[in-house]
Chain A
Amino acid sequence: MVITPYHYLVLSAALFTIGAMGVMLRRNIIIVFMSIELMLNAVNINLAAFSHYWQSAVGQVFAIFVIAVAAAEAAVGLGIILAFFRNKDTLNVDEMSSLRW
């Protein structure tokens, strides 16, 4: 059975769905951030699969940029989480609704 790009597309869609469910259903903000990383990985798999199919390295270059942006976003996001945790002592997204008290 030949593995066509459609197989990778379905895998990528499934991984994206899993990440989206993690973002929507979990209340722990670190788990939410990790689900966002899952979604970015799904996109990367998609890009790499197409890069392999069209024999063009542009997809991999795009994937490298996605990884770089994910690193920057993870750093800043975790900094915000740490600062918030120091003040409010909670990681529950439901309690992160107001910044004042």
Chain B
Amino acid sequence: MLEAIVFYTLAAFVLGFGVLVITARNTVHSVLFLVANFLCVAVMYVALAAEFLAVIQVLVYAGGIVVLYLFVVMLVNLKAIPEAHMDPRRRSRLGFIVASAILLEVSAILVYAARRADAMPLPAGGGDGTPMTGNTEIVGWLLYTDYLIPFELASMLLLVAMIGAIILARREA
């Protein structure tokens, strides 16, 4: 019962802030709603017993990536007044209709799948045999043993992205 209340409240907040992100007129407000959305998603991860993922979401996504977005918005705002960057043609009615159609379709598919197969059978005795000692330990174990190569590749990707971003945004002095 409590779980249902928590889920529905969180879902309402996540979707509400999501809609506000794409419909806010002021870009800075849009970024703030995005932060609120990410924080609500982090709470949802805690509800899913993924506390390491929740803290990483706040630390990296809400505390790093969106700060970057905010920086760019501020630097753009410095040069020109914010009203110059409004969208004249937003077509919100058409957007709402198309969005509802897609959502109805996806929900229909999901409900059909749920009714057809009776409950996905839960595998006996854990997912893949790793010792369930704590969320961070399990994730770390997997990252450093089974998924070591993607881990190293991700680190190289981040290095390349960092160098690329520095070069792209550098002033031609």
Contact = CB atoms under 8 A, between A and B. Distances in A.
Interface-central residue, A15, A18, A52, by most chain B CB under 10 Å: A18
Contact of B143 (A27, A28, A34, A61): A61
A89 B53 CA distance: 38
B48 A51 contact: yes
A27 to B, nearest CB: 4
Interface in A18-54: 18-22, 24-28, 30-31, 33-35, 37-38, 41, 44-45, 48-49, 51-54
Interface-central residue, A17, A20, A55, A69, by most chain B CB under 10 Å: A17
A75 B110 contact: no
Given A3-B7, A55-B127, A28 B87 contact: yes
A30 B11 contact: no
A70 B148 CA distance: 19
B147 A61 contact: yes
Given A71-B60, A92-B85, A20 B65 contact: no
Interface of A: 1-11, 13-15, 17-22, 24-28, 30-31, 33-35, 37-38, 41, 44-45, 48-49, 51-58, 60-61, 63-65, 67-76, 78-83, 85-86, 89, 91-92
5 contacts: A21-B95, A30-B72, A31-B21, A60-B50, A79-B164
B147 A41 contact: no
A60 B139 contact: yes
Contact of B34 (A37, A49, A80, A82): A37
A4 B115 CA distance: 13
Contacts of B110: 6, 9-10, 13
A24 to B, nearest CB: 7
B87 A27 contact: yes
Given A6-B110, A71-B65, A14 B48 contact: no
Interface string B114-141: 1000001011001110101001001100
Interface in B90-132: 90-92, 94-95, 98-99, 102-103, 106-107, 110-111, 114, 120, 122-123, 126-128, 130, 132
A21 B19 CA distance: 9
Contacts of A91: 76, 85
Given A17-B106, A30-B27, A76 B44 contact: no
Given A20-B102, A52-B49, A15 B138 contact: no
A10 to B, nearest CB: 5
Contact of A72 (B87, B106, B158): B158
Contacts of B94: 25
